[in-house]
Structure 1
Amino acid sequence: MESNQIVYEECSWISDIVKEVVQIKHFIMNHSMRLAIYHEFVSLKLLSIVDTRFASMIVMLRRFKLIKSGLQNMVICDKWNIYRDVNQEKAKFVKEKVLDDFWWDLIDYILSFTAPIYDMLRICDTDKPCLHLVYDMWGSMIEKVKKVIYAHEVKRLDEKSTFYEVIHTILVDRWTKNNTPLHCLTHILNPSDQWLDEDPTLISPYKNKEINQERLKCFKKYFPNLNERDNVNLEYVDFASKNEDFRDFDSIQNRYSMDPKAWWVDHGACAPMLQNIALKLLAQPSFSSCAKRNWTTYSFVHSVRRNKMTPKHAKDLVFIHSNFCLISRKSPQYAEGETKMWDIGGDAFDLFEDIGVLEVANLSLDEPEMESGFFFQKKWIIWMKDFLLYYLMER
């Protein structure tokens, strides 16, 4: 109970800021005239982001930071004074907060110390192979968060910070729940060790006790036979120490210039058992959210009206829908025009700068230009699914 109380006391101000931002947004959007005044001063839309969306709080705060000057000009204009009479208390609250520099400083602070966390999650939440980057990104993210908090509190890194300890505990608890030995094994099998040059305090994976213990757990799981396990351990020794065929000049040079999976294809034949594991792990995405999106598609296919569809037919339609999305990404129209990135969800977040992400973070009726192209393509896919459904049922 005491630890929960400390967490609440140290972090409650963050929830307060978020609630105030939501109140301001609702006050503007729930009145047509206030919304019209807002559009006179701000070109960007106010987003309505559901809580289940990825980093919804951060996206909302980033949007408010972008429109800061427009909001301040809005609340001091003559028209605002006319339409504030509908609810003077809320209008006064909105004006005080928008013109309060300390309030904006707190928003900047939240965005600054959550930025490393947000960036890491955003990189990992894709369908791209990045399992080998998770362990290193985790350590770098913790250090970046610590530096931001200590700089804000004007403290040395060896001093105590209650707020950082709370944030660190939350992050460690989350890491403990999601971390697996595979993160460490894939980190070890990444041939590039350029990250060691970024921080002189870092050590090679084979010198790290924790990483090696996790590696041994994986090897015992993959190779229950003792002789096989001895062979793969010897292969790992050669790989880690750059001995035998791994000491070849091209092999060492390509560790820094080639994709990890491509490197193992090109130079890993001398360690076939280790190569087999590396090729499997280095092709894996780190999050399962990409796979979970199939269940969303499945819920559209197997609806109340189509509850008698056989599992095979439903599976075929989900497969077809997913491949339509992949095929559309290869077309020239996908990268340009009003319908570019029309299937944006999580896989393509890394293709956008901050403003771009915020512009398409919520596709609503408030975005008619985007919606027209989006629904056109969605209707086309729905029509194709209906046609294929009919074909499969008849077959």
Structure 2
Amino acid sequence: MQGRETLDYEIARMFYSSGLPFHFARNPHYKKAFAFACNNFISGYKLPGYNKLRTTLLENERRHVDKLLEPIRNSWSQKGVTIVSDGWSDPQRRPLINFMAVTESGPMAAGLIIESEFPSIYWTPCVVHTLNLALKNICAAKNTERNSTVYEECSWITKIAEDVMLIMNFIMCHSMRLLIFHSFNSLQLISIAPTRFASTIVMLKRFRELKKGLQEMVISDKWNSYKDDDVEKAKLVREKLLDVSWWDKVDYILSFTSPIYDVLRKMDTDASTLHVVYEMWDSMIENVRKVIYKYERKTESEVSTFYEVVHSILVDQWTKSSKPLHCLAHSLNPRYYSHEWLSEDASRVRPHQDVEITRERMKCFRKYFVDVDVRRRVNVEFASFSDGREGFDDIDSLGDRGRIDAKSWWLTHGAHAPLLQQVALKLLGQPCSSSCSERNWSTYSFIHSLKRNKMTPERNWSTYSFIHSLKRNKMTPERAKDLVFIHSNLRLISRSSPQYHEGETKTWDIAGDAFEFLDEGGCGILEVANLSLDEPELEAIFFNDDGGQEGGASH
């Protein structure tokens, strides 16, 4: 028993003395290393030293990770590949662009430069970013001459968000008020980084969850008897939190933005979504309309000025981001030809009967199939597929359209249209957001910030604020790039393993390797990328010392 305790304490001292985050204890490679050492007697073994870690082992691991990625690269010719990118700039405002290759097998970091001369490549904007811009214009409308109508209709939302920030700052900036807050609430207030997707909505959602505790707080004797700070502001906070109409507005904001937020969450993943985004956007707008009309108690024939403004924002963003590729992917989704889907709404039509979708699909066909004879064959194949004839008319083919996923359908029934099947299998495996690329930036900047590593701008370009500065580790740019490659891809590979979704190493990389708090203390900052909208269950949990999950503060 004494030997076990001694080892435990030595490991703990390693954490304490080096400033390692406690979350590192969930790292599967940390666990594997000690498990291997305990189960295998290796005579004369010496731990790898400073030089070996940053030279020989680093180079060998780069080659090892390259081999692990080989199956993904080999699938590109069959499944297709999406190159996602995201921009960043260093302290001297020099631009950096992060490229990643994504298929249905998952993303992988790629150092590819995309040239405009490749005619078969389609550029599509990140749908998550597009939705975030729409939410930003609705929830934080700017008071400009060109935006006057939007500001007039939406400024009340900005006022509610400002009220929430005022209340949060008042509580956070007064230690006694913060202590009172904690006595009535188990969850933390969170301040959302402005670059975070749907920042205002995420903040309001958390604030709404705290409603009961906040109201109990301001009517308590503790709150009313404390007079050592701004009494007038404390009175204003109390009035806001007890104002029924104010909370009604908070609920209304969360209600009509819920369809937008839900789509944003579904798109903010590495999953294949290119073939569903067109229909999801249409349904989203209709669901927003229903909520607004219900709240305003308007009939279908009446006009809602507020909805007209919200609708124009959403349509404008879709118009800017919609590309022919979205329409082609929509056209190749067999579900949209099924009786099940069509019967859900009388206004729905099959994709080949929609003028816009047909026009955009033909643009793609002309781009992908330059040869007229080949393109004519593709058109014939599409006609057979869309009309359910000549190989697509058997009972299983028609019945499976609305019952199995699109890619499985094409693998099972698509052999009768080989050219179209090839295109479908590639498109149906593509994402429509750059979320994985944005999470990769968090590898570079979130883990070890410039402040922590004292990285100079000159060194920042080669390491992207990653792990340890060149000065500290004497790393060449080439080694730094290898380290970024290994770090990013080991995490991405890990996310595809069963162990990532269960057991002690479940979602081991989600909390990142570090987190910071506001200077005033007590209010966690929900940062970009590492905690993504595809992990909503982690918005209100933390991990206890034994690796279990408890309700509590958000990361």
Residues 499 and 505, structure 2, Cα contact 8 Å, conserved in 1: no
When the two structures are superposed, what TM-score results if normalisation uses the length of structure 2?
0.61
Aligned letter for 1:169? S
Q: CA deviation at 1:99?
A: 0.2
TM-score, normalised via structure 1 length: 0.85
Higher relative contact order (CA 8 A, sep 6+): 2
Q: Deviations over 1:280-304 (max 9, x none)?
A: 1100001122223334434564448
The corresponding residue for 2:489 is 323
In structure 2, the partner of 1:29 is 172
Partner SS, residue 48 of structure 1: strand
Q: What are the Cα deviations for residues 60-101 of structure 1, in whole angstroms up to 9, with x where unaligned? A: 111111111111110011110132441012101100000000
Q: 1:252 & 1:348 partners in 2: Cα distance?
A: 37
Could you tell me which residue of structure 2 aligns to residue 271 of structure 1? 417
Do the aligned residues in 2 keep the contact of 1:302 with 1:314 (CA within 8 Å)? no
Partner residue in 1 for 2:163: 20
Task: State which of 213, 219, 224 in structure 2 corresponds to 1:76.
Answer: 219
**1:165 lines up with 2:308 in the alignment:** yes
Q: Tell me whether 154-163 or 127-136 shows the greater mean CA deviation.
A: 154-163
Q: Which residue of 2 aligns with 1:335?
A: 502
Q: Which residue in the other structure is 2:270 paired with? A: 127
1:306 aligns with 2:455: no
Contact kept, 8 Å, 1:260 with 1:282, in 2: the verdict is yes
| Partner of residue 359, structure 2 | 213
Instruction: Give 1:309 shift.
Output: 5.8
SS at match of 2:318: helix
1:44-193 to 2 correspondences below 5 Å: 44-193=187-336
* Structure with more strand by fraction: 2
- Residue in 2 that maps onto 1:285: 431
Deviation at 1:357, TM superposition (A): 4.4
- Return closer, same or farther for 1:191/1:313 CA change in 2, 3 Å cut-off: farther
CA contact (8 A) 1:294 1:318 kept: no
**Does structure 2 conserve the Cα–Cα contact (< 8 Å) formed by 1:338 and 1:370?**
no
Question: Structure 1 pair 271/187, CA: closer, same or farther in 2 (3 Å)?
Answer: same
Distance 1:251 1:224, change over 3 A: same
For residues 244 and 346 of structure 1, what CA distance do their matches in structure 2 show? 49
Shift of 1:154: 0.9
The offset of 1:324, in angstroms, is 2.5
Deviation (angstroms), 1:350: 4.0
- Amino acid of the residue matched to residue 470 of structure 2? R
What is the CA–CA distance in structure 1 between the aligned matches of 2:531 and 2:331, rounded to whole Å? 26
Structure 2 counterpart SS, 1:51: coil
- The amino acid that maps onto 1:134 is V
| Aligned CA-pair RMSD | 2.5
Alpha-carbon distance between aligned partners in 1 of 2:325 and 2:380, rounded to the nearest angstrom: 19
Tell whether the 8 Å contact from 1:325 to 1:343 is kept in structure 2 after alignment.
no
- Using the alignment, how far apart are the partners of 1:282 and 1:298 within structure 2? 31
Alignment of 1:231 with 2:398, yes or no, is no
Q: 1:203 aligns with which of 344, 349, 353?
A: 349
**C-alpha distance in 1 between matches for 2:500 and 2:508:** 9
**Residue identity matched to 1:249:** I
Report the CA distance between 1:332 and its aligned residue. Answer: 3.7
Asked whether the equivalents of residues 59 and 358 of structure 1 are also in contact (C-alpha less than 8 Å), the reply is: no
Q: Which deviates the most, 127-136 or 327-336? A: 327-336
2-side partners of 1:242 and 1:150: how far apart? 39
Alpha-carbon spacing, 1:102–1:337, altered in 2? closer, same or farther (3 Å): farther
Distance 1:294 1:351 in 2: 16
Aligned 8 A contact 1:113 1:148 in 2: yes
Contact 2:500 2:506 in 1 (8 A): yes
- Of 85-94 and 102-111, deviating more is 85-94
Cα deviation for residue 212 of structure 1 reads: 0.2
Q: Give the corresponding residue for 2:405.
A: 259
The number of equivalent residue pairs is 364
Contact 2:500 2:508 in 1 (8 A): no
2:39 maps to what in 1? none
How far apart are the structure 2 equivalents of 1:66 and 1:341? 26
Is the 1:335–1:341 contact (alpha carbons within 8 Å) kept by the matching residues of 2?
no
SS in 1 for 2:190: coil
Query: Is the CA contact (8 Å cut-off) linking 1:328 and 1:334 kept in structure 2?
Result: no
Q: Which moved more, 1:137-146 or 1:311-320?
A: 311-320
Is contact 1:125–1:347 with CA below 8 Å preserved after alignment? no
Q: Give the whole-Å Cα distance in 2 for the aligned partners of 1:40 and 1:12.
A: 34
Q: Unaligned stretches of 5+ in structure 1?
A: 361-366, 375-395
Report if aligned partners of 1:147, 1:157 keep a CA contact under 8 Å in 2.
no
Q: Which amino acid aligns with 1:217?
A: K
CA distance in 2, matches of 1:160, 1:286: 33
| Larger mean Cα displacement after TM superposition, 266-275 or 2-11 | 2-11
CA contact (8 A) 1:192 1:255 kept: yes
- Distance change >3 Å, CA 84–CA 226, structure 1 → 2: farther
**What one-letter code is carried by the residue in structure 2 that aligns with 1:23?**
L
Residue 27 of structure 1: CA displacement?
0.8
Which residue is equivalent to 2:523? Answer: none
- Aligned residues with identical type, % of pairs: 54
CA distance in 2, matches of 1:38, 1:251: 60
Query: How far did residue 223 of structure 1 move?
Result: 1.1
Offset, 1:180: 0.6
Match in the other structure for 1:358: 539
CA contact (8 A) 2:341 2:402 kept: no
* Paired AA for residue 24 in structure 1: I
Distance 2:283 2:249 in 1: 24
- 1:257, CA displacement in angstroms? 2.5
Tell me the distance in 1 between the aligned counterparts of 2:171 and 2:297.
Answer: 37
Answer with 301-310 or 164-173: which moved more. Answer: 301-310
Q: Contact 2:504/2:547 (CA < 8 Å) preserved in 1? A: no
